Amino acid sequence: MKYVQEYGQDNYYDDIVVLLGTGLRVSELYGLTKQDVDFKTRCIYIDHQLCQTADKPYFITSPKTASGVRTIPMTDAVYLALKRVMKNRTVSKSERIIDGYGGFIFLDKSGMPKVAMHLQNYMRGIQKKINRIYGNSFPKVTPHVLRHTFCTNMQQRGIDVKSLQYLMGHSNVSVTLDVYTHTDFHAVQETFAKVAANL
């Protein structure tokens, strides 16, 4: 994160903070409009995503599954990141409406809504810089790794599996457990000690 904050050509720092603090899919993040973020209750409402294909540059779809419709609470870091994005958001005179949605929060330099490709390209560029400095031993980091990291961090901090499934928007808890959570002996040992102390 420090590298992204200090050496990034285009600042995607807040995008990454929000992804690491919410577990959102990138298309859900970039689909966020002003109406989807409630700073009073500190909640983010997810019921759509912004996508792009070679044939269709912008379009709105429902989340990946019905379970993808959800409300995500904001941590302090996410709250502050979204406030910064809103403060620095520059809008052109005619704001883009896509399939009835407008007021997109995350915009590129030209005032158009960002899409997943923006962050993918940015992270590829950061990866090249890191490899030049540290060599190719640095693990590959993609936008989806941020979602994995959120899930793993939440699981290791003791959130219950059903709550984690809800936050991730998974239709099946086995996806949450098998695909996104990674643990090691140290994490198991810590969790075991906490539980054992209450037996």
Q: Is the dihedral of CA 126, 63, 152, 73 positive or negative?
A: positive
Model confidence, pTM = 0.84
> 3-state DSSP call for residue 19?
helix
> Is 25 a catalytic site residue?
yes
Return the amino acid letter for 140: K
Higher per-residue pLDDT: 71 or 156: 71
Bridge partners of 43? 38, 73
| Structure letter (DSSP) for residue 168 | H
Q: Which of 48, 114, 118, 170 is catalytic?
A: 170
Residues 56, 121, 39, 33: what is their CA dihedral angle, to the nearest 10 degrees? Answer: -10
Per-residue confidence at 185, pLDDT binned at 50, 70, 90? Answer: low
The pLDDT of residue 97: 92
Q: Which of 89, 96, 144, 148 is catalytic?
A: 144
The pLDDT of residue 133: 83
Bridge partners of 98? 101
**Phi-psi domain of 112 (left: phi exceeds 0; alpha: psi -120 through 50; beta: other):** beta
Q: Is the dihedral of CA 114, 116, 117, 123 positive or negative?
A: positive
The residues, ordered by sequence, that sit 6+ positions from 168 with a Cβ below 8 Å of its Cβ are 23, 147, 151, 175, 176, 180
The pLDDT of residue 184: 57
Enumerate domains of the chain plus CATH numbers: 2-134 (1.10.443.10), 144-197 (no CATH)
> Is 64 a catalytic site residue?
yes
Q: Which of 12, 25, 58, 101 is catalytic?
A: 25
Letter string b/e over residues 79-116, b meaning 16 or more CB atoms within 10 A of that residue's CB? bebbeebeeeeeeeeeeeebeebebbbbbeeeebbbbb
| Structure letter (DSSP) for residue 105 | S
Kindly report, residue by residue over 2-47, the tens digit of the pLDDT: 555 555 545 799 999 999 999 999 999 999 999 999 999 999 999 9
Q: Name the residue among 100, 101, 141, 136 with its Cα closest to residue 120.
A: 141
Q: Which of 13, 42, 64, 166 is catalytic?
A: 64
Kindly report, residue by residue over 102-116, the tens digit of the pLDDT: 999 999 888 899 999
Kind of pairing, strands 49-51 and 59-61? antiparallel
Kindly report, residue by residue over 129-169, the tens digit of the pLDDT: 888 888 777 778 888 889 888 988 888 888 888 888 889 88
